[in-house]
Amino acid sequence: MEGDQTDTRLASTLRFTPHRAEPVVLGEKEIAASGSALSVREVHDVLDQAWHDIRNGRALGHKSVLSLPEEAFWQEAGYQGRPVEFAGERLGWKLSCLYGANPEFAGVKVIGANAFNRHFGLRRSRSTYILMEKFSMQPIAIIDATALSAARTGAYASQVLGLCPIEKDQITVFLFGAGPVAKAILASLADRAAFRIGRVYLKARRVERAKALQASLSMTLPFDIVAVEDSGFLAEADFVITATNSDRPVFGDHELRRDACLLHLGGDEVPAETLRRILRQGQVGCDDLATVSRRNSQSLALQFSRAGSSLEALGPHLGILELSKTKDWRVQPGAPLSVTCVGLPVLDLYVVAALFQKYRASRET
């Protein structure tokens, strides 16, 4: 039978209607013009459903990454070695593919990234999502998901803060990073935890970036935000978030309060000493053991792989918890908590599908 013909006998028994139209292409301009961009609250609401489906086995996803050698980039770009302005920073020259499926949709997110892009006035990474009807696997839409990717990552901040056993009315947060994810973190905290936060200290590799982010948001956030040049105020922090492109730890364990809680969203940013201490004295967790372990780019996974083992193999025996398994962590009051989140691929599917459905609804009115 030809591909454009239908077996009416078989089709009559189907419980779904295959998608036949050409996929819609939604770039940033089309999303803005149609009013389809998701608010922070809408992102949180759809991610609540995503986590429910993940924990009940209704949503699946995986990630593949092709990391290209930095040495090859510098040579091919005409440099003798790594330029001094990239000292202490991951180039992150890679191609990533995140794919997932839920009860209604399937999809693939393709990410191209290179920190060198800032010298061209380009973003470090760009995400393109191909949304598909799940059963026929026909493409429905091709969507610029760069902003959505930052939003779904930033949403981890309020989710993890809700797990922290912090018994204070006004929490002090210390945020490392001043890029799109840092901005999304602040938006997430403002939407779901504004009443709990008194002040956020903001530190970036280049202090002018931290000051620029502070200036752009200070009049809109419901808590104080202060750009700082060093980690002097880290000792005051109840909740520490790392969201940088650093290739080494961004603080020393001695700089943290013993009961401070930590959310780790970047690469190898957390000292091994910190992770060992919290394993002994508090609770360590991640969004998903297998995904963090196999990606092997963050401090928690590297702690095990550098010793010849893996987080996936030893994590369950050490009591390391997973957001993908349960939301009831029951961390003891006053105990330190460290949570590493790599970003589960199927989360992108939910926010992209929600944006597409909002776009489709706008076209029908």
List the pLDDT tens digit at each of the 365 positions of the chain. 455 555 555 555 556 677 778 999 999 999 999 999 999 999 999 999 999 999 999 999 999 999 999 889 998 888 877 787 788 788 889 999 999 999 999 999 999 999 999 888 999 999 999 999 999 999 999 999 999 999 999 999 999 999 999 988 899 999 999 999 999 999 999 999 999 999 999 999 899 999 999 999 989 999 999 999 999 999 999 999 999 988 899 999 999 999 999 999 999 999 999 999 999 999 999 999 999 999 999 999 999 999 999 999 999 999 999 999 999 998 999 999 999 999 999 999 999 999 999 999 998 87
Report yes or no on 6 lying in a domain. no
Cα–Cα distance for residue pair 129/349, rounded to 1 Å: 8
What is the model's pLDDT at position 261? 98
H or E, element range at 172: strand 171-176
> Using DSSP, how many helices (H) and how many strands (E) does the chain show?
13, 14
Handedness of CA 200, 205, 207, 212 (dihedral sign): negative
Q: What is the domain range of residue 291?
A: 153-344
Residues 202 and 324 in one domain: yes
Residues 82 and 227 in one domain: no
Cα–Cα distance for residue pair 343/49, rounded to 1 Å: 16
Report yes or no on 42 lying in a domain. yes
Cα–Cα distance for residue pair 234/99, rounded to 1 Å: 37
Residues 323 and 176 in one domain: yes
Residues 356 and 327 in one domain: no
Residues 147 and 208 in one domain: no
What is the model's pLDDT at position 247? 85
Cα–Cα distance for residue pair 24/129, rounded to 1 Å: 12
Q: How many domains does the chain fold into?
A: 2
pTM of the model: 0.91
Residues 219 and 121 in one domain: no
344 vs 153, 170, 190, 228, 334, CA distance in Å? Answer: 9, 30, 23, 31, 29
Residues 218 and 185 in one domain: yes
Residues 125 and 44 in one domain: yes
Report yes or no on 5 lying in a domain. no
Report yes or no on 77 lying in a domain. yes
Residues 122 and 166 in one domain: no
Residues 179 and 320 in one domain: yes
Q: In what order do the strands lie in the sheet with 197-203?
A: 224-227, 197-203, 171-176, 239-242, 261-264, 337-340, 283-286, 321-322
CATH number of the domain residue 355 falls in: 3.30.1780.10
Residues 189 and 338 in one domain: yes
CATH number of the domain residue 177 falls in: 3.40.50.720
256 vs 201, 240, 300, CA distance in Å? Answer: 14, 9, 17
Residues 332 and 355 in one domain: no
Find how far residue 286's CA is from the centre of its chain.
12
Cα–Cα distance for residue pair 150/162, rounded to 1 Å: 20
Report yes or no on 230 lying in a domain. yes
Q: At what angle do helices 40-55 and 146-154 cross, to 10 degrees?
A: 70
Tokens found for residue 95: 């191609």
